[in-house]
Homo-oligomer: A and B are copies of this chain.
Amino acid sequence: MPDLATLGIEPLYRLLSRFMALDPADRAALSQLEGAALCSKPARTDIAREGENPTVIRLLVSGWACRYKDLPDGRRQIVGFFLPGDFCDLNVYILSELDHSIGSLTAVRYYEIQPEQFQDVIDERPRLTRALLWHEMVASGIQRQWLLSIGQRTPVERLSHLFIELYYRLKAVGMVHDHAFELPITQHHLAEANGLSLVHVNRTLQEMRREGLIELADRQLRILDFERLKRTAMFNSNYLHFNRD
C-alpha cells in the first residue's frame, strides 16, 4: 500500500485520465504543480471560511475534505466531498468573496497553488485546459445529483447513491480494492451531507447491512452486491463523464 501523501500529482493525473489520455508533456506540465507549497492540516479543521477572499487554488493530495455551508443557527450542510486529486476551488479566485467554507474531515495534505503559477501550467496546453474544465463540469454534475438525492431519494437510496459515487471516484484514483474502500468519515458527516439526522443515518445503515447491500466497520466500506446497490440507488454513472476505462 503506497503512502498517498507522497504521491504528489499522481491522483490528479489518474483522475484526468478518466476523461482523456494525457501525453507525457501534459504530465510534465502538471508536475510543475509539485513545486507549490504543500500544506498539512489535522482532521476537522477549516481550510477556508465563507466570506474570505480566495487567493489560492487548492489541490488535495491526501485525506478527505468537504465543502460546506452553514446557517447562523448552526445547521450545517455538506455540499460535496473532496477526495485526493480534487481541486477545491479551481476558479473561485475571480470572485471577491467565498460563498462557502472548506473543511478537512481527516488529516489532509494539499498544495496551495498561486493563480499565476497555475496559469503557467495550462498556458499553451489546450488538452490540460480542457481536462480541467471537465473536472469542473463533473463537480457541477455531482452537485446536481446530490440535489436529486436529497430532494427525491429515500434515505436508503440516498446513502446507496453516495456510496456508489464514492466508489467510482475513489476507484479513479486507485483507492478501491475488491469493491471495498476506506470511508474515513463519521455517521455525523454522512448525516450532514444527506440532510438526515445522525440517528436516522445510523438506522438506515443498519437496514442496508441487514439487506446485505454493504458491510461497514472500522472505517472500511465494502459493497457486497454492487448491482443491487446500483439498482437501489437508481444510479446512472453518466454524470461522472468517465469517457475512458
A residues adjacent to B (C-beta < 8 A):
50-51, 67, 69, 71-73, 75-77, 79, 91-92, 94-97, 99-100, 130, 133-134, 136-137, 139-141, 143-148, 150-153, 194-195, 234, 238-239, 241, 243
Contact = CB atoms under 8 A, between A and B. Distances in A.
A69 B241 contact: no
A238 B147 contact: no
Given A152-B195, A234-B72, A243 B96 contact: yes
Contacts of A239: 99-100
B77 A148 contact: yes
A91 B131 CA distance: 12
Nearest to A194: B151
A71 B133 contact: no
Given A71-B148, A71-B234, A151-B77, A137 B96 contact: no
Nearest to A96: B243
Contacts of A67: 144
A75 B149 CA distance: 11
Contacts of A73: 234
A96 B100 CA distance: 30
A94 B151 contact: no
B152 A77 contact: yes
A82 B71 CA distance: 26
B94 A134 contact: yes
Nearest to A145: B69
A152 B243 contact: no
Nearest to A147: B79
Given A137-B91, A152-B195, A241 B144 contact: no
A49 B138 CA distance: 18
A130 B243 contact: no
Contacts of A151: 77, 150, 194-195
Given A97-B241, A239-B99, A79 B150 contact: no
User: Which among A67, A100, A130, A133 has the highest number of chain B CB atoms within 10 Å?
Assistant: A100
A100 B69 contact: no
Contact of A147 (B75, B77, B152): B77
A131 B18 CA distance: 30
A69 B238 CA distance: 12
Contacts of A91: 133, 136-137
